Amino acid sequence: MSGACGQTEEAGPQLEAGEGETSSSAAGAGAAPTPADPAELWSGRGCTAADCHGGIEPIRQPGTGMLTQILARGQAFGDPDGCVVCHGGDPQATSPAEAHHGANDPALAEAGGPDRFFPDPASPWVNARSCGQCHAELVEAQWNSLMMTEAGKIQGTTWSFGIPGDYEHRWANYDTQNPEDPHARLGTEAYRAYMEAKSAAHPNVFVDRHERVPEAPAPGVDGGWEELEADPAQAAFTYLRAECQRCHLGVKGRQKRGDFRGMGCGACHIPYGNEGVYEGGDETIGGGEHAVGRPLVHSIQATRDSWVFKPSASPDEEALGYTGIPVETCTTCHNRGKRIGVSYQGLMESAWASPYTEGGGGAIPQPGLHTKHYIAMQQDIHFQKGMLCQDCHTSGDVHGDGFLAAANLGPIEIECSDCHGTPSAFPWELPLGWGDEDGRAQLGTLDADDPRGVGRELPNHLRAGAVAEPEDGYILTARGNPMPDVVRRGDAVVVHTAGGASLIVEPLKAKQARKGLSAEAEVAMVHTDHVETMECYACHSEWAPQCYGCHVEVDYTDLSGGFDWVAAGNRHLSSAPTKADEQGWPDLKIPGKVTELRSYMRWEDPPLGINGEGRVSPLIPGCQTSATIIGPNGEVLAQNQIFRTPPNTEGAGEAGQLGIDMSPVQPHTTGKARSCESCHADEKALGYGIGGGRMTAPWDTDKVVDLTTADGRVIPASARTQVEGIEGLVDWSAVLDAEGNQTQTVGHHFEGSGPLPADMRARMDRDNVCVGCHAEIPDGALPVSLLAHVSQATAIGRPTTKEQHASLVNKIVRSSAWAQVLFMVFAGLGFFTAVGWGVRRLRAR
């Protein structure tokens, strides 16, 4: 759909993406501007009349290129305050009903602007005529972004319900397909070439099209109850539509504390507080029945130069100003599944609502957030440094590049090494694809060994918003796109954060050159191949959320138990593109009440596996679904059932593998690296489960707790089962049994993911190696016994601290090495001496 950019002058002033918006890094980090005074800014007529929206905040601050253009364009279409440019409507009307209807000037619609009144101009169903007037490329790309399709969640859920399809990502929230022109992909030429190779390597993830996810079982739907009774796995589509799919950008989503957000562009760019309360100056917005579920203020949050001001509650206080998109905006959605949003903030889900919170009438439990409760954990180091999600994640990560990528690892183009490099290479010395190995091996015409260098020019879609001065060049992502806020400065990397800081990063190679790496870092990154085979976060994740067992009940005796979020989005598409609250559509209620429970939760030392890039990665429970399905007449169609994957997949035979999954993940809890022992001396890390699978009893048998005889026979006839057995399940936390057989799936998006291979586990496993020395101490072999008794009798003593023990082991290693080297030298000398002597004897004869 054509936007206003490039229109003729008769259509009003042209809007240019980013015009007047770019700023140097220094400008972005400057002092906050003076907040706009609505009384001075607005005309006081039409939309901004005193009895209408006279106190509302400007969408951007005065003097910015964006607001300047909006005001000029609004003036051209009869609205000096520019409201019609985004919202449409009629500012000359004399009543709200008339003002909030239609468009005041047909020429505005002809010029690509609103063709009716838009309550939420950021909605994807209308934003081609609002946001798209300037950002047409990104608005077009949104339709194939993962946050719109949510294809990964759909495939994960259907996989766990055993619905056939192998690793295919067939379904999405909407019917959609890739553009025919490969040059429509947003990014540099190098990026496009790289992604073509990446897509060819993983056609099941980088698909050409998606179909809309099937309907949930219901009377009148094809198959109806009969199909559900014959195949209870069809309940997956109820689970998806009523629970999993409420976060896609085509709907506003659940209206609960912590879940309030906008639609489309507004899901990220319009601030919503966790309480969903408007705190701006427009009295027509703040109260009454619409008091909850409103934006915090009427302003756009975006990059380093996009100031947002929340008016103060008291005339004696200054307005609170900030730049960038707060982490909690992202966490509105990223609090389920991999839970990366809350983890980044240092929050771990808890079954308990403690500690108590002071409230009226005494202590009250911790308030629910995203309908959960949390304990405070260590925050990611990047969060502690003031970095927002957008400081690492690129435009392509979030907006998409216009082409389909059906799993999280698909669109994410950044790697830790893009800023930190390796001990032997600066970021700009690494080849494209380093850390993204599957793509690197398939680069085709690109030389996989060539240094990637730095970027000098930015693609057009990356020039909107704050752009740093390039200095020695823009840092490139692993896939070849420049990052407009991250630059090279000599041998350092400077990250100009959206929050206004400029962080100087010393790459690992520079740190290694000045001997700045710790002994542990030297061992891990220089003396071994960890850097080549592992994700950085395999070591540097301090913890990871591990919610074991997802017990899902879908009860069809409740004929209106769920709300169909997929149908809501598609109704927006067809007939009601600007509705502010989808849950006001009672006819979109569907049969089946969904309830979820967990078995247990952990956070320490996550197990390890191989991710879709072929690297060692932390694992956390993904869709570990145990399903209970209650039919419409109350009959139990499935009880604690774990469905199975297709035959001969995931290390299983004809019966298929248990469809529960341990998912490779970047936990977003970066900090001090985990200890060597936490991997090399931990059966859980190797994949054998917590305590090597011995911590919990097998889950496949019933547990009855009551009076029992000494030999375990239950005495009371009234005894009931306390813990129901789950057929086939031995241990939620184990991906391998003691013989090395795979016991559940490990990643269901990329076929290359899986448990650690047997040869790698053998190289890693150092459990109980202490016995190798201590079996001889103090009374083993004669030399060891002699040294032990001498040290005991003298002032030398045995090592009693970790440092002393490490020093002794180091001394033994070096002494042993020298002894063996000297032995070989003298043995060699002796051999050649003997040979020489023998030769001389022979000649003497």
Contact by Cβ (8 Å): 300, 308: yes
Say how far apart CA 140 and CA 461 lie, in whole Å: 12
The pLDDT of residue 576:
55
Tell how many helices (H) and how many strands (E) occur in the chain: 31, 26
User: Residue 531 in 3-state DSSP?
Assistant: helix
The pLDDT of residue 815:
86
- Edge-to-edge strands of the sheet including 616-621? 745-746, 661-664, 616-621, 608-610, 754-755
Q: What is the pLDDT of residues 78-103, one digit of tens each?
A: 999 999 999 999 998 888 889 998 77
Contacts of 289 (CB under 8 A, 6+ apart): none
Say how far apart CA 206 and CA 656 lie, in whole Å: 25
Strand partners, 638: 629
Query: Closest by alpha carbon to 85, among 173, 4, 175?
Result: 4
The HSE-up count of residue 802 (CA atoms within 13 Å, CB side) is 0
The pLDDT of residue 774:
85
Say how far apart CA 190 and CA 192 lie, in whole Å: 5
Intervals of the chain under pLDDT 50: 1-28, 439-441, 443-446
Strand partners, 552: 596, 627
Q: What is the residue-wise DSSP string for 741-760?
A: -B-SEE-SS-TT-EEPPHHH
Let me know if 244 is exposed, middle or buried by CB neighbors in 10 A (0-12, 13-18, 19+): buried
Strand partners, 124: none
Query: Closest by alpha carbon to 49, among 96, 98, 117?
Result: 96
Residue 501: C-alpha distances to residues 24, 25, 729 (Å): 13, 9, 50
Residue 33: C-alpha distances to residues 64, 315, 786, 801 (Å): 11, 18, 77, 57
Say how far apart CA 142 and CA 120 lie, in whole Å: 16
Q: How many other C-beta atoms lie within 10 A of the C-beta of residue 604? A: 12
The pLDDT of residue 583:
65
Element (H, E) at 503: strand 502-505
The pLDDT of residue 289:
56
Token pair, residue 323, equals 């730049």
Token pair, residue 261, equals 């957000």
The pLDDT of residue 360:
62
Question: Which conformational region is residue 293 in: left (phi greater than 0), alpha (psi within -120 to 50 degrees), or beta?
Answer: left
Residue 149: C-alpha distances to residues 249, 612, 667 (Å): 9, 20, 23
Say how far apart CA 426 and CA 513 lie, in whole Å: 11
Query: Closest by alpha carbon to 304, among 327, 329, 322, 282?
Result: 322
Query: Closest by alpha carbon to 704, among 687, 719, 690, 716?
Result: 719
The pLDDT of residue 346:
97
Say how far apart CA 84 and CA 90 lie, in whole Å: 7
Say how far apart CA 828 and CA 825 lie, in whole Å: 5
pTM over cut 0.95: no
Query: Closest by alpha carbon to 609, among 453, 743, 432?
Result: 743
Contacts of 571 (CB under 8 A, 6+ apart): 582, 585, 588
Element (H, E) at 285: helix 283-286
Annotated domain spans of the chain: 417-534, 539-568+584-764
Dihedrals phi, psi of 353, to nearest 5 degrees: -95, 35
Cis ω on the peptide bond leading into residue 355 (within 30° of 0)? yes
Q: What is the pLDDT of residues 267-289, one digit of tens each?
A: 999 999 999 999 999 988 876 55
Say how far apart CA 65 and CA 466 lie, in whole Å: 12
Cis ω on the peptide bond leading into residue 217 (within 30° of 0)? no
Say how far apart CA 231 and CA 215 lie, in whole Å: 15
Say how far apart CA 455 and CA 418 lie, in whole Å: 13
Sort strands 661-664 and 754-755 into parallel, antiparallel or unpaired: unpaired
Sort strands 661-664 and 745-746 into parallel, antiparallel or unpaired: parallel
